[in-house]
Structure 1
């Protein structure tokens, strides 16, 4: 009985569609792909109970084709989505202008951007964020809660933050604003070490990079650190222009299309630097960042410090669509000057170092510096009198009249590394001259959120070149090499 009922229902659907249940017209069977799509579109639009519009169905069909490629870099944009994407490529984002970090007390504001909605309404570095739009904030959910608060928002929309400042709870309702991320940040560190951070290879980033580099040179720069951490890429033409400061008349990369046809991308003209260069990278350095770092590494023009990069070794073209939108489509794969693939592989650093501050210290040494003084507070760190905002993890822990600091960080100050001995199950701390081993349950080790902290007193006893003091809630670590 159930089988009969199923057949009857099936026939009813076919009859409503105006088709014979047992045959298809020759015309339908021989229809080309475009007519098939149009035929199904009209069937759904005319007959489906939802009364879906043709425009919505077309958008869904396009998205289905894009999704079938299983390529995270090929995307279809509506007109509004395209505008948002281009704004993001140029370094803009919708937000309130804060950087978050966490410690044992919760998630706090590590930095407040100047002239941002957060600064104008009175948020301060060190404020602990309790809730966002009534949702409780923890270390594990902070990114998700913030994304949910921003989802569907436009400039002028408001979010509410509950803040703990000292023993007082305050509530702030803050308007969202399109913020411009500074493309280039430049500082002159002691001992003639120039520092130049590039947040993205935007259309005008090469001009800002050139101006900043010239300013550092005017201050008698002896070596240069180029920071590409968290740089997701951008325009290849911008990467070419920046590379021309260091590469002269050489190959930047080779691109290959689906047919195997190759096209060399050259740096025409250009100059070669007469000073040491160190490039900082991390797992978020991608695309044009990898193009630049890969070429500099292949030509041995720079030492790479950090962790393996993202591994986005493909390029996209943006093709306009009739409705004002666009298709961003992967068209080529690129290779470094030595023909090394990057896609799903990334750029392997010459010096593997984990942790933002530890990476910065290693880069500083690699650039030729001999002395390091690092001041750590809960909200920022100061390297040789130059302040950097936002530490990202708990900077230090007070326990039993001792100070515990992240193990990788203090070993970076010792110009050493942290390893693991599988046989003895012990942590290995070494700088090539001195080696010490510790169990993770040692009284000299604390574990917090998967990060190891080591006693500063213990490190000083094993590596006497490292000294430390703790004054006014600030840890000061110093070393000379």
Structure 2
């Protein structure tokens, strides 16, 4: 993304500070005021505080240090004061990072990391999953977009800042994160064990579908994503591709530069890719230098498509007329800048300073981008993992049984109902599953049966024949392409 004007370099983030990745770019905007980079003309940071304000703050600290019942940690008090100021802004994306958290943040900029593989945000004081990265431990364990994380390894996240929560969620490869979540539609908290691992840094997967329709899946926008996308796109074009499906479902974001480089060839010259707006309402447009493509393009989206994914969807929809297929996206439309140099001690503040808008000027924040063709996935795609607190048996009624029945139905084992009552037909379906998987045929669901059932459901979710959104996109493209 190119801006003209001042020489200040700002790290602009169009995503949440995540347990795995974040959206990052370097901008040089001409229409926006200097944001406090040392050495830049007009870049001095002015506090706006009066002497009376300084005196109140100093007096408060002095009272704590000298009068409080027990001795206090000075750094902890100062950090708490900074967190308190930022908390008054009521913006989950504006956060303070102490030295340790700032170091973790810098490490996240690389495309290689260890963790559970899910991007998280803070929503109304709760830590919520934006999307699990496809193929990550988080996805394999059954975490979904919009799950609210209540605790990690028994430690409650209540009252934690986003960065504090992330420090608890992250961890070395091979270690367990016992995560308790609240899921919409589930009356009781769900416990899920995720084994942390190296997160797959391959971000682009391509294939040719029937009818010479190409599909490129982008799992995140990392430093090498645009290069890999261009390589795979050329291979598909060389095979005579007639139309392209770009899949950004459950893609939580990434580098804005990668988005621009990916979409620019599809967007005719001088048409907009994205707009940035400052607090005064002044806007700057990023125009395309591309020439367009001779074939149609559609985009697969869902509620886990966030930030950079939404920029891609908005750009292709508004400036190319691409059809968006699937579900309404997450809705992340603000831009953050980091201020590490200004803090001077290795700590960092990431602050919301801009909005980003689609080429047509739409601000999608907290609303998302609605699909042109809405398609829901089968119910078993969203089934919650079984709690495994006790063996599930006939003639009982619970949310666990309801999710069991949804899974069995998804595996074509006909439980006859999905209302949570463990009927005899449900037991018969369980027995059928147990026979197919060399398990003791009891008709009851113990931990072993539950684990194999969840593994079978995940395999079914990955089967293209069960992907109704992809089917709809393929059908649309086949009807659209030129003969």
Same-fold call, TM > 0.5?
Answer: yes
1:335 aligns with 2:334: no
Which residue pairs with 2:369 in the alignment? 347
Where 1:254 maps in the other structure, the secondary structure is strand
Q: Note if contact 1:89-1:234 (Cα within 8 Å) is conserved in structure 2.
A: no
Structure 1 residues 334 and 44 mapped into 2: Cα distance closer, same or farther (>3 Å)? same
Which residue pairs with 2:181 in the alignment? none
Task: Output the CA distance in 2 between the equivalents of 1:112 and 1:303.
Answer: 23
Which residue pairs with 1:254 in the alignment? 275
Shift of 1:141: 9.7
Give 1:293-304 correspondences, 5 Å limit: 293-304=313-324
1:46 to 53, 57, 66: 66
Structure 2 gaps of 5+ residues are: 1-49, 119-132, 156-166, 179-192, 386-403, 422-435, 438-455, 476-483
Structure 1 gaps of 5+ residues are: 1-29, 99-110, 119-124, 130-136, 162-172, 360-377, 379-391, 406-444, 451-471
Structure 1 residues 113 and 278 mapped into 2: Cα distance closer, same or farther (>3 Å)? closer
Q: Note if contact 1:160-1:174 (Cα within 8 Å) is conserved in structure 2.
A: yes
Task: Output the CA distance in 2 between the equivalents of 1:216 and 1:449.
Answer: 46
Residues 106-138 of structure 1: CA distance to partner in whole angstroms, max 9, x if unpaired?
A: xxxxx9969x9x9xxxxxx9xx99xxxxxxx9x
Shift of 1:142: 11
2:257 to 223, 233, 237: 237
Which residue pairs with 2:393 in the alignment? none
Which residue pairs with 2:213 in the alignment? 193
Structure 1 residues 158 and 233 mapped into 2: Cα distance closer, same or farther (>3 Å)? closer
Where 2:51 maps in the other structure, the secondary structure is coil
Q: Note if contact 2:332-2:366 (Cα within 8 Å) is conserved in structure 1.
A: yes
Task: Output the CA distance in 1 between the equivalents of 2:95 and 2:328.
Answer: 26
Which residue pairs with 1:274 in the alignment? 294
Which residue pairs with 1:326 in the alignment? 348
Which residue pairs with 2:392 in the alignment? none
Q: Note if contact 2:272-2:319 (Cα within 8 Å) is conserved in structure 1.
A: no
Shift of 1:84: 2.8
Give 1:31-180 correspondences, 5 Å limit: 31-88=51-108, 90-95=110-115, 151=168, 154-155=171-172, 158-159=175-176, 176-180=196-200
Question: So what's the TM-score if we normalise by structure 1?
Answer: 0.56
Shift of 1:341: 1.9
Structure 1 residues 225 and 446 mapped into 2: Cα distance closer, same or farther (>3 Å)? farther
Cα root mean square deviation, aligned:
4.6
Shift of 1:97: 8.3
Where 2:71 maps in the other structure, the secondary structure is coil
Structure 1 residues 97 and 345 mapped into 2: Cα distance closer, same or farther (>3 Å)? closer
Where 1:312 maps in the other structure, the secondary structure is coil
Q: Note if contact 1:188-1:216 (Cα within 8 Å) is conserved in structure 2.
A: yes
Shift of 1:244: 1.0
Structure 1 residues 201 and 142 mapped into 2: Cα distance closer, same or farther (>3 Å)? closer
Which residue pairs with 1:446 in the alignment? 417
Where 2:363 maps in the other structure, the secondary structure is coil
Shift of 1:448: 5.6
Where 1:291 maps in the other structure, the secondary structure is helix
Task: Output the CA distance in 2 between the equivalents of 1:85 and 1:240.
Answer: 23
Structure 1 residues 237 and 230 mapped into 2: Cα distance closer, same or farther (>3 Å)? same
Shift of 1:82: 2.6
Q: Note if contact 2:173-2:198 (Cα within 8 Å) is conserved in structure 1.
A: no
Where 1:305 maps in the other structure, the secondary structure is strand
Structure 1 residues 113 and 293 mapped into 2: Cα distance closer, same or farther (>3 Å)? closer
1:315 aligns with 2:332: no
Structure 1 residues 82 and 97 mapped into 2: Cα distance closer, same or farther (>3 Å)? closer
Q: How many residues align?
A: 319
Residues 394-437 of structure 1: CA distance to partner in whole angstroms, max 9, x if unpaired?
A: 555399xx8559xxxxxxxxxxxxxxxxxxxxxxxxxxxxxxxx
RCO comparison, higher one (Cα < 8 Å, 6+): 2
